[in-house]
Structure 1
Amino acid sequence: MKDFLKMLGLVAVFSLVRAAIGLHNYEIGIDDTNIYFVYVRNLHEGHGFVYYPGGPHVEGFTSFLWTLFLTLVYSIRFLPFETTVLVSCLLITASIVYLYFRFVKARFGEIYGWFIALFLVLTPGFIDWNVFSLMDLPLWILSVSWALLLLIDGGRKKLFTVIVVLLPFIRPEGLLLSGALVVLRMFREYAAGLTLRRAILSNLVALLAVVTAIVIFTLFRIAYFGYPFPNTFYAKVSVSLGSNIKNGVFYFYDTVRHTSLVPAVLLAISLVTIIRRRYWNQWRAHAGIIVLVLVAGFFLVYPFLTGGDHFRYSRFFQPLFPLTALLAMLLFQPWLAANKTRRTLVLPLLLVWLNLNSTDITSFRESFATAAGAYFSRLGPDLVRQSQLQSEFDIAVYGRSAARHMNEVLSACDSLPSYGVVAAGGTAYMYKGEIVDVMGLNNPEMAHADRIKAHGVKNHGSFNKQVFYRQAPDLFLSYPDPLTSELVQTDANAMAFLTKLRDPAYFINRVCQDIFNDPDFKGRYRYSRISNGAKHFYGFVRTRHFETHCPGLTVTALD
């Protein structure tokens, strides 16, 4: 307990520093977290797993178990809901750090335990993602790390079984990893001296439990949602393998530039060392290292198969980073311990280097000289700079603010217009009417319209014009919009926003397949000011709903 309190204090201190220097608007998490909150509220109110009351069943969230946990928190909270989730994330993150601290301390001593604890909290994005985003990532890292460390230790089989059975419910990649971890435990026990038959039989219950859980969960998904995988898979990941690998290369490039170079360097040096020393020739003695390398390999390869995502700080690589530090520790601790001066120099310098990254915006296609110059010109310590995730927090806050303002303007309507959005979290949580997610994450028809997403921006390629016209939201986008954060509501600013939307290079227009320049769209929607006399906002409207249900509003076409 004493060590856990130390790690809790460490995480709390770094979180306070991050909140004071690097973050603002973090109280409600990022916009994707607010999508979770939408489902949590609807589930708590008895509507089921739906994006809006009366809507289709849809699994527009990534972690089923995190959704259930948040629903429990929502039901029994003793603090404001988001605050309770923040405290929960802080405790889970401290548990991650404690697991690694305890594991390394037991083998190499307390100084090395503190090194790996500091390695975690100084990794750019670790605090931002695990404590402040309020997403499922800390639960995922905790579960995977716990299962792996138990596997290397070789003890507490019942606890190991419970964790691997839960992995498919925490993240979709758990469907692959859970069974693989059981097989690796068979290998670990075989390497420790059991016969192959005994090693298999010893873990047969765990393997059957994993298979049973996956089958039941998949059958439930098909029966309830109509599909075997989350809707997020069909909306984001279902592009060609070639495109995913290409995006994965960009994702890795972004990681070493904008998150940290150190994990990649540690992993490369570790793999070269393993190959040069031919660890596989003495695989029984090095079974723990082999297991660690294979699991690290899974987290290294997975983003190349799925294409990664658009978020900063390498969310998909975050579980890999502590594994690279642990692997290096297992391989090189004797070398460090042999010379006190070496240890005193190497460990602090490594931690300083770990926290350095660049905020440049050069692309993978730039020349080496241009990319290198930009990288070093913007290189600095991440801990004392604004978080690269800040825009994701802002979108959630601005989305709630914009939707709250719209509710006030539309309060005279006897039926609120259906509202088509691109940013589908904070807006949907606050808007009182039906929300149409045109990016498809929470819209099964949109997500399944094109099996291969051969267009659009990474993770935003599901928009389909035919589906959009068929669903025909009464109101599409709004100004102010959560992606623009503009709060000055004048006709001139609104028209400037319209000009942006019609620019083929503008993000919203790109993900919406240039619909704002589509003659069909211009014939069906008018860019208008919607006013109740005291307040107003702007958006694309289909006038029929407003004429029928909102007689007290003035809708003035601006284009």
Structure 2
Amino acid sequence: MQNHMNKLSGAAILSVLACSTLAWLLLGIPSSGINDADVYLVYARNFLEGHGFVYNVGGEQLEGFPSLLWMLICSFVYIFSRAVEVPLLLLNLLFGIITVYICLKRCNQKTAFLVLLCSAPAWFAWCQIALVESGLWCLLLTATILAVSERNTSKVAWLLPLLVVTRPEAMLWGCWLLLVLFLGFGMDRGWRIGLRKIFLPVFTFGTTWAVLALFRGLYFGNVLPSSSSSTPVHGLQVDLGAGVAYLLGYLFSNPAVLLAVLVFGWVCVREISRKRGLSRVLVVCLCLLPGLAIPLMAGDESFRAFRFYQPVWPLLCLVAAWAMPLLYERQGRLIRRMAPVLLMLAGWMIFAMSVNLKHEFTMARKSREQGSVLARMFEGHTSLPSVGTMSAGGCKYAYPGKVYDLKGLAAAKTDPIPRAKQGAESRPPFDREVFHEWYPDILIRSASDAFNRRVFTKLQSERWFQKRYLKGELWYNDEILFGYFSKRLLNGLEEGHYAFSQDLQYTLSMEAPLDLSVDLPDEALKFGFAAQDKDGLAAEFLPLWSPPQKF
């Protein structure tokens, strides 16, 4: 028995470590997680330092993160080390190993399970490498569904509260899992016994939700979570259309995914048609339905590699592995031997050729670099400039000043980061009033995407914006920062320390001439201008002087 458990542990450890390492290499060897991981770290650091649940120190208390439990875990790791990336990666690897192990314990076709699991690199990227709550959510969801399938009410009773504090959609998941558990007991042993059996899980689940809602109401002023994976309903048909497209995209993103989902559907039909009650296989299939339906109803998301579907992937592989003997017996020996190899090769080749998730890590890395440049550029300033950017997590993590996420321009007014990740087709209108209220000193344009271009196009078309901002490069010693700078900031910079190189091509492309009211002394007119023309891009070098005068 001990030897068998050691083999299972070894298989789980080897598969998770090997595939996670390969995914890490294909993602460009990132040294940190994605932008959302940095958002968690910002909240965790501020919470640990006694500022509460705030994004900007001294700002409004906001639940700008989807997982309270993961934020608290990040805070706990901060106690022991400020370099939290490696401990969080090791923790996510442990979560992945445990998830694979508990599935292997319940699977006779272990090779089939491991082949399917390891054929989908996106699961390892999201649940181990991204450093967000996906790995924790996957583990808890897998353990809870398996406990429901085994009708282990004591396990369900303590796992459901953990689900509640891990993801906002746990309310839907918990209600559905309790219903399936009740049906299982009721159909086999009677409905009264079923009610009695589920009392403890219902009590712990309901109590946790009540306490969490009370805490939210008292602390944040809202009993419902303010940050969710679900997009706001902006026309149900639009969301359903985007959700169907999202599901189809996931199905055809990888041959292993398509195979596992097709087998999952076949198993559901087969188990229901056999009319043998709620078997363990059918219970797992029923429990997985919200995992497919919630993203379908919520619509598209801005993340790549289908983040919303990754937490249910191990259980989809488990259901497919349970059915493999029935499918294998109809196939020839050559197909049985070649299919696993071809499946894994296809999955990893598709991931290597697309690697669209790499963009998330690249944006996070560049955002941290921009934050570090800002921190060095304005070190020692009593009043740090405020910054607006698209990838605010890494920038805020490295820069102590106030940072606004421009994606919040399509979100609630007082939230400095977006309350929901939304697909480009379902975004609410751009809110100019919010931007006018923020009026950041610096705007940094991140890596291009559709919403990024849309926001900056809207901003640049405003006379209000054109009168207050200049586009160009700000120089400080060896530091260079490219973006849009408010004239308020430029006029207030220290004498002789900074220089600004204005993008005249952008200025001249505006529909009407602008009032370029950056003030310089008369000497600048004589000595300060050095006309440049690099690759056809006209620019103008302006040293900043004090006291200011019109030029």
TM normalised by structure 2 equals 0.82
2-side partners of 1:212 and 1:348: how far apart? 51
2-side partners of 1:115 and 1:309: how far apart? 31
1:12 pairs, out of 17, 27, 32, with: 17
> Relative to structure 2, which stretch is displaced further, 225-234 or 5-14?
225-234
1:173 pairs, out of 169, 173, 183, with: 169
Deviation at 1:248, TM superposition (A): 0.9
- C-alpha contact (below 8 Å) 1:186/1:199 kept by paired residues: yes
- C-alpha contact (below 8 Å) 1:25/1:397 kept by paired residues: no
- C-alpha contact (below 8 Å) 1:129/1:137 kept by paired residues: yes
- C-alpha contact (below 8 Å) 1:446/1:462 kept by paired residues: no
Bigger Rg, structure 1 or 2: 2
Unaligned runs of 5+ in 1: 358-379, 485-504
Change (3 A) 1:450 1:549: closer
Change (3 A) 1:224 1:115: same
Change (3 A) 1:60 1:545: same
> Relative to structure 2, which stretch is displaced further, 120-129 or 49-58?
120-129
2-side partners of 1:441 and 1:171: how far apart? 24
**Does 2:301 match 1:309?**
yes
> Relative to structure 2, which stretch is displaced further, 508-517 or 23-32?
508-517
Match of 2:547 in 1: none
Match of 1:215 in 2: 210
Change (3 A) 1:167 1:442: farther
1:346 pairs, out of 330, 333, 336, with: 336
Match of 1:137 in 2: 134
2:197 pairs, out of 194, 202, 216, with: 202
Change (3 A) 1:211 1:382: same
- C-alpha contact (below 8 Å) 1:165/1:178 kept by paired residues: no
Instruction: Give the secondary structure class of the aligned counterpart of 1:526.
Output: strand
Change (3 A) 1:442 1:61: farther
Match of 1:483 in 2: 447
Match of 2:75 in 1: 71
Change (3 A) 1:459 1:274: closer
2-side partners of 1:326 and 1:55: how far apart? 46
1:436 pairs, out of 404, 408, 414, with: 404
1-side partners of 2:340 and 2:88: how far apart? 33
1-side partners of 2:342 and 2:464: how far apart? 56
Match of 1:471 in 2: 438
Deviation at 1:141, TM superposition (A): 0.9
2:376 pairs, out of 408, 412, 415, with: 408
Structure 1 vs Structure 2 CA RMSD: 3.1
- C-alpha contact (below 8 Å) 1:140/1:170 kept by paired residues: yes
Deviation at 1:178, TM superposition (A): 1.3
Deviation at 1:292, TM superposition (A): 2.0
1:151 pairs, out of 132, 148, 151, with: 148
2:63 pairs, out of 22, 36, 59, with: 59
Match of 1:163 in 2: 159
1:226 pairs, out of 221, 227, 235, with: 221
Q: C-alpha offsets along residues 285-320 of structure 1, whole Å, 9 cap, x if unaligned?
A: x43233222222211111121113122221111133
**Does 2:120 match 1:123?**
yes
Instruction: Give the secondary structure class of the aligned counterpart of 1:536.
Output: strand
Match of 2:322 in 1: 330
> Relative to structure 2, which stretch is displaced further, 89-98 or 521-530?
521-530
**Does 2:96 match 1:100?**
no
* Alignment-mate amino acid for residue 498 of structure 2: L
Match of 2:262 in 1: 268
Deviation at 1:162, TM superposition (A): 0.7
2-side partners of 1:519 and 1:90: how far apart? 51
**Does 2:386 match 1:418?**
yes
1-side partners of 2:267 and 2:199: how far apart? 34
2-side partners of 1:202 and 1:131: how far apart? 36
Q: C-alpha offsets along residues 517-552 of structure 1, whole Å, 9 cap, x if unaligned?
A: 222211222224322354332322222244346454
Change (3 A) 1:137 1:351: farther
1:288 pairs, out of 277, 280, 289, with: 280
TM normalised by structure 1 equals 0.81
Match of 1:553 in 2: 498
2-side partners of 1:332 and 1:456: how far apart? 36
**Does 2:241 match 1:255?**
no
- C-alpha contact (below 8 Å) 2:411/2:419 kept by paired residues: no
Deviation at 1:401, TM superposition (A): 1.1
Change (3 A) 1:274 1:473: closer
Change (3 A) 1:405 1:449: closer
**Does 2:365 match 1:397?**
yes
2-side partners of 1:435 and 1:544: how far apart? 17
1-side partners of 2:225 and 2:410: how far apart? 10
1:533-548 equivalent positions in 2, closer than 5 A: 533-548=477-492
1-side partners of 2:43 and 2:415: how far apart? 18
Deviation at 1:448, TM superposition (A): 11
- C-alpha contact (below 8 Å) 1:509/1:516 kept by paired residues: no
1-side partners of 2:476 and 2:420: how far apart? 43
2-side partners of 1:352 and 1:304: how far apart? 30
Match of 1:84 in 2: 87
* Alignment-mate amino acid for residue 385 of structure 2: P
Change (3 A) 1:88 1:456: closer
- C-alpha contact (below 8 Å) 2:55/2:416 kept by paired residues: no
Match of 2:36 in 1: 32
1:520-535 equivalent positions in 2, closer than 5 A: 520-535=464-479
2-side partners of 1:55 and 1:442: how far apart? 20
How many residue pairs were aligned?
Answer: 498
* Alignment-mate amino acid for residue 522 of structure 1: Q
**Does 2:194 match 1:185?**
no
* Alignment-mate amino acid for residue 326 of structure 1: L
**Identity rate of aligned residues, in percent?**
23
